[in-house]
Amino acid sequence: MNTLASTRHFMLATIVVTAAMFIGADQVKAQTNLPDFTGLIDEVAPAVVNIETLTFGTRQRDRQRDDGQQQPNQDDLPDFFRRFFDPRGDGFQGGQPDRRSGGSGFIISDDGYIVTNHHVIDQADEILVRLEDRNEYYAELVGSDEASDIALLKIEADDELPVLSFGDSDELSRGEWVIAIGSPFSFEQTVTAGIVSGKGRTNATQQYVPFIQTDVAINRGNSGGPLLNMQGEVVGINSWILSSSGGYIGLSFSIPSIVAKNSIDQLRDKGYVSRGLLGVGIEEVSREEAEAVGLDKPRGAMVNRIEEGGAAEDAGIEVGDVIIEFDGHPIVVFNDLPPLVGITPPGSEVEIRLIRWGDEMTVTATITELTQDALAGIDTGNNETAQSNQLGLAVDSIDDELRNRLGNPEGGVVITDVESDSAYRAGLRRGDVILMINNQDVGSIREFRNIVEDLESGKSVVLLVFRDGASTFRAYTPETAD
């Protein structure tokens, strides 16, 4: 019986192998249901570029290097959202310009407009663009927007350039195949593929961008490169990853094309990006709050602050209202609201559906403009300041007018400049209000200076920071002097 069973198994295996040979490779590929990207890559790759930036020592990091300060080691960075491209570079060496591989980008018009990330070209003195055919061009910076992490460049080329067109990021679905092309670790024209993992993701420093989350392998140098759908359309711009080590772990985030196009059009037309402003502070709706205000489940954005004289106040919105729809778009979680308000042109009239203690109503608001000063949050003109300190943060005291603009934080000092690489990577920005340092309250410039002077060199520091009506902790290891 054993011999007979073995013979039958052998014959069955032979039949399976023979059948596979007759099926052919194409049919086997079809049965695996996996896409073939080769034709698509051949079509789109010529429009993807490598970007290098040059700096000539006029930046703060060069002064730090001249003073003998060490640059931070990425291994010492805290476990926070990290840019996979270091926007600050390695500094000045031997009196030569600092030439560093900045990242990626792509051409959007045959007359030479190129899109990349703001953090790729931030603080660059010269920008070098290299095409797939190895031609190189120096690029002019048309405009750059930190809030959306978008920059627009322009090159002058004699020949007609290959271009990529935008698709509709709103049409993306979870599980859909997408492709990234870029220059990770200076390996140009590198292609990776994966699926859309989620939509509408946010981080603390870019509340106006509902990021696309994918499992596409993205690493340092991919910044600014395109995220493409299976039709070869740009549906996103690769921007950052979530990682504990600075390398890819399966969580990559891209700026949706609908946000990118809005920023690009404004940068091309006027050199900067203006955004809509509703004039509210919002927070997540908890289960208990949903029950209290008459919602069937936690959803929407709860209003916790109304700016005096703003669009929300004029429309009759009150603290405690829960916004469930903005201009026809449902607000599922509170982070859905800022990107929608941001892309609304100032002066537009929009309908807002809200729940007020069990009653549903609709109000009409005329959206105002979020000015560049308000976005930065500073330019106070105060005389009392603290600069060039161990934290690498220039700060200023806060007068009553500025405190109102910043959302009425209690105490604190406002950041006027982020001079430190590691502070920038930790997410600190101009306009943030420092409330505490290592569990010590900061109520004035004097208190800030005293606390900073007593900090132990080379140790991590934790700051409680107030921004947009909410406070959050930021941790990093300051650069240390030799």
Which H helix or E strand runs over 301?
A: strand 301-306
Q: Is 308 helix (H, G, I), strand (E, B) or coil?
A: coil
Residue 365: count other Cβ atoms within 10 Å of its Cβ. 26
CA distances from 421 to 147, 190, 321, 427, 433 (A): 18, 28, 40, 10, 18
Can you spell out the DSSP letters for 385-444? EE-S-TT-EEEE---HHHHHHTT--SS-EEEEEE--HHHHHTT--TT-EEEEETTEE--S
Catalytic annotation, pick one of 122, 149, 321, 336? 149
Based on the residue annotation, tell me whether 42 is a catalytic residue of this protein: no
How many residues in the chain? 482
Pick the closest to residue 352 from 367, 369, 333, 368 (CA basis): 367
**What CA–CA distance (Å, rounded) separates 210 from 256?**
7
Pick the closest to residue 240 from 277, 206, 268 (CA basis): 206
Pick the closest to residue 481 from 424, 439, 420 (CA basis): 420
Catalytic annotation, pick one of 86, 98, 101, 119? 119
Based on the residue annotation, tell me whether 149 is a catalytic residue of this protein: yes
Q: Is 384 helix (H, G, I), strand (E, B) or coil?
A: coil
Catalytic annotation, pick one of 101, 144, 223, 257? 223
Q: Return the active site residues.
A: 119, 149, 223
